[in-house]
Amino acid sequence: MLITNWRELSEAVILTGDLDPLYDFTVAVKKDRGDLWTARFVTHLLTFYDVGGACHAADLTSEGSFWDYVISNYDDFPRGTNRRHSRGDLGRKYVTNCEKIGSPSVFLESAWAPNYTALTKVFQDKFHGCGYGPYFVWKVMDYQDRVLGRPVKLELHEAVRHMPDEAKKGATLLWPDVPLLGVLSGMTRFLSRFTAPGLRNRQCGLSEAETMLCALRGWYNGDYSVGQDLAERRKQLKSAPLFLEYIATFPTGTKYERPNPLDPKALSANLA
């Protein structure tokens, strides 16, 4: 199928399960492994961003032994792209500061607030030196909301102010003459017809628009293809193959093609 505009790409990403596939994955595993396992998994994932390593950490530790295990094996953990710089003394400092906050369940309970502005204040006040910049504060919001059942209310003005840079770049690339507020308003009107991944207790909204803006930027630049996130997560799970059953499989025989050359005006059409 040839993808010609952002709506077609969004629908393809959502319906194939490539929109933040780890939310569905973690919710499915949580049903079998329970809340404490899930807290260890999410905390390790946020620290290193590798799914296989997070599964092993959750399996091999308890509430009391988690941080000791992380510190002892710190150099050996693979890092996902967004934690590629969390190495050496700097990364060790992050881990040490996170340990001071408490066990994984306490850590995640502490990393919550009822709205996004309050959440950013929590991280400024309590998580200084833990390695949580704008991108990972946003990810914490997502995991609290989509997996752990602790919603963080996100208003449009908060999304405009706090949205991570990669998503903002995607908005500027596709709609250079439209303010971010207008981009998000237009996108969420369309995305709201789809159910958000994870707990599936609400429709897609501002958080999912952020993910799609990153995907759209990658699609525009030729760096993203539909199913890419699923493939990457399945690759990371090769080190923990027992968990492969919990993650979606990209539909067999499905192929989404990018126009060559790509037409930027067509890709950004029908925002309103």
Q: Is residue 1 part of a domain?
A: no
How far apart, in whole angstroms, are the C-alpha atoms of residue 107 and residue 266? Answer: 45
Q: Is residue 258 part of a domain?
A: no
Q: Is residue 241 part of a domain?
A: yes
Q: Is residue 260 part of a domain?
A: no
Q: Is residue 211 part of a domain?
A: yes
Tell me the C-alpha to C-alpha distance, in Å, between residue 232 and each of 108, 208, 217, 236, 248: 25, 19, 18, 6, 12
Q: Is residue 154 part of a domain?
A: yes
Q: Is residue 97 part of a domain?
A: yes
Domain membership of residue 37 as a residue range: 6-247
Q: Is residue 200 part of a domain?
A: yes
The pLDDT tens digits along the chain (272 residues) read 999 999 999 999 999 999 999 999 999 999 999 999 999 999 999 999 999 999 999 999 999 999 999 999 999 999 988 887 788 899 999 999 999 999 999 999 999 999 999 999 999 999 999 999 999 999 999 999 999 999 999 999 999 999 999 999 999 999 999 999 999 999 999 999 999 999 999 999 999 999 999 999 999 999 999 999 999 999 999 999 999 999 999 998 889 999 999 999 999 999 97
Q: How many domains does the chain have?
A: 1
Radius of gyration of the chain (CA): 19
How far apart, in whole angstroms, are the C-alpha atoms of residue 234 and residue 61? Answer: 23
